Amino acid sequence: MPDYALTVNEPVEVEEIVRLARSVGRPWVDPERVPRMLASADCYLARRDDGRLVGLATLVSDGAFMAYAQHVWVSPDCHGLGIGRAMMERMIRDCENKGYLGLGLFADPEAVDFYGRFGFEPVKNKGYQALIRDLARPTGGQDHE
């Protein structure tokens, strides 16, 4: 039996999320923005028996066709306990139950094999190309055709 509990959309303190984000190398998580994240995403939380937040995954969707796992974070001292697996399995099941046609995510290179275990594949040769615009970095005023 796991020594953590997984919940969805339960109340969580901003400071808990910031602490977890920083522990997984996400220093850019701004406490002032966290409430907006919580309001616009389904939030999967994993807590240890002592109440400490040790896992977070957020899921956003268009409500009909596609969903995206935005963050999947597990405290480094809890790696290997099945927390990431449990959050991913629950997100996938929830997306299937809602009838979404796909679930996407961006993965750190070292996490690609982890996500592959759940059926995620690179988008190359799928008939489209994944693109992202980094809004935190200016484009230098270049014109784009």
Q: How far apart are CA 70 and CA 59, in angstroms?
A: 6
Which H or E run contains 116?
helix 112-116
Residues in Cβ contact with 26 at an 8 Å cutoff, skipping those fewer than 6 apart: 71, 73
Per-residue pLDDT tens digits for 16-62: 999 999 999 999 999 999 999 999 999 999 999 899 999 999 999 99
pLDDT confidence of 123, banded at 50, 70, 90? confident
The domains located in the chain, with CATH, are 4-116 (3.40.630.30)
Mean predicted confidence (pLDDT) in 140-144: 50
pTM: 0.85
Q: How far apart are CA 112 and CA 115, in angstroms?
A: 5
Cβ neighbours around 133 below 10 Å, total: 6
Q: How far apart are CA 59 and CA 69, in angstroms?
A: 5
Dihedral angle at the C-alpha atoms of 35, 38, 44, 50, nearest 10 degrees?
Answer: 20
Six-digit token pair at 64? 């009909």
pLDDT at 87 over 90: yes
